[in-house]
């Protein structure tokens, strides 16, 4: 029976963190993106497709919140929606992630319309991202929170872009990278809260294993997104089909 005892909180957290090996930082398309190997149209394709994820995040967060009966959690959680949607005058610090990502789009040579029309969004990207939002709609709120824990691994991927892109992709205006800079402290704050919820949720071995499965589902969402992007923008894509 001892095999069924819950892991200690430290062991459980270590097992969640070990899922990093399946994070999209290791996807071949991300490796090419962050090693400077991509042509401008491939970077544009990634930015335009990832925008669909950016827009979905606050919808996902609203779904988690709609399922949450705990006021104290909602007070913290609502920050996530404001981080992405922005608030007030939509300028400076308050612009929000969706707007800041739009600026990244313009810095790589896309128009606002290119992003907001979803004209470049691939079916596989849509399916993957919609699966994430739908998971949050249907799952108990603690499970929805746990699905955000891929953010444990995100500060490194943002930092890689900030460190590498200016020299590898000098054609991208430096202001375009503000999104990545803004996310590092926010991801750290989100992860602190997410881990608190996960550890409280994981009071049996079965629930701890469920949490790990949920994290795997979310890794799969991100991995599938890059599979679809990689497939859509091969090196030899004819000129007229390039974003």
Ligand X SMILES: O=C(O)c1cc(C(=O)O)c2c(n1)C(=O)C(=O)c1cc(C(=O)O)[nH]c1-2
Binding site for ligand X (CB under 6 A): 57, 97, 148, 150-151, 154, 157, 183, 222
In the complex, the smallest distance separating the C-beta of residue 97 from ligand X, rounded to whole angstroms, is: 6
Separation CA 47–CA 60 (nearest Å): 20
Q: Which residue sits closest to ligand X, CB atoms considered?
A: 150
When the beta carbons of 99 and 151 are compared against ligand X, the nearer one is 151
In the complex, the smallest distance separating the C-beta of residue 220 from ligand X, rounded to whole angstroms, is: 12
When the beta carbons of 102 and 150 are compared against ligand X, the nearer one is 150
Interior/surface letters 155-174, b for 16+ CB within 10 angstroms, e for the rest? bebbebbeeebeeebeebee
Separation CA 97–CA 233 (nearest Å): 25
Backbone angles phi, psi at 110, to 5 degrees: -100, 160
When the beta carbons of 120 and 183 are compared against ligand X, the nearer one is 183
- Name the residue among 170, 166, 168 with its Cα closest to residue 178: 166
Burial of 231 (0-12, 13-18, 19+ CB in 10 A): exposed
In the complex, the smallest distance separating the C-beta of residue 183 from ligand X, rounded to whole angstroms, is: 5
In the complex, the smallest distance separating the C-beta of residue 169 from ligand X, rounded to whole angstroms, is: 16
Contact criterion met (CB below 8 Å) for 12 and 202: yes
Tell me the angle at which helices 97-107 and 40-66 cross, rounded to the nearest 10 degrees.
170
When the beta carbons of 215 and 232 are compared against ligand X, the nearer one is 215
In the complex, the smallest distance separating the C-beta of residue 64 from ligand X, rounded to whole angstroms, is: 9
When the beta carbons of 22 and 97 are compared against ligand X, the nearer one is 97
Contact criterion met (CB below 8 Å) for 123 and 232: no
Paired tokens of 174: 């430096």
Length in residues, the chain: 243
When the beta carbons of 157 and 232 are compared against ligand X, the nearer one is 157
In the complex, the smallest distance separating the C-beta of residue 98 from ligand X, rounded to whole angstroms, is: 10
Paired tokens of 106: 């313009």
């Amino acid at each position: 029976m001892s095999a069924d005892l819950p892991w200690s909180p430290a062991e459980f957290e270590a097992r969640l963190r070990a899922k990093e090996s399946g994070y999209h930082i290791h996807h071949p398309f991300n490796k090419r993106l962050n090693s400077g190997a991509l042509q401008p149209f491939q970077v544009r394709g990634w930015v335009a497709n990832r925008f669909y994820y950016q827009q979905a995040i606050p919808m996902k967060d609203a779904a988690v919140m709609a399922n949450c009966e705990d006021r104290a959690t909602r007070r913290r959680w609502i920050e996530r929606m404001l981080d992405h949607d922005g608030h007030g005058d939509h300028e400076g610090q308050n612009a929000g992630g969706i707007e800041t990502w739009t600026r990244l789009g313009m810095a790589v040579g896309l128009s606002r319309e290119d992003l907001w029309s979803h004209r470049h969004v691939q079916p596989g990207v849509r399916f993957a991202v919609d699966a994430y939002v739908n998971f949050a709609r249907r799952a108990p709120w603690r499970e929805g929170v746990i699905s955000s824990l891929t953010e444990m691994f995100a500060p490194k991927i943002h930092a890689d872009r900030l460190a590498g892109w200016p020299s590898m992709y000098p054609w991208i205006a430096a202001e375009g990278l503000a999104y990545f800079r803004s996310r590092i402290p926010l991801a750290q704050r989100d992860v602190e809260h997410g881990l608190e919820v996960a550890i409280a949720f994981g009071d049996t071995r079965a629930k701890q294993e469920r949490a790990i499965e949920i994290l795997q589902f979310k890794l799969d969402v991100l991995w599938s997104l890059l599979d679809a992007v990689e497939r859509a923008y091969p090196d030899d894509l004819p000129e007229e089909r390039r974003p």
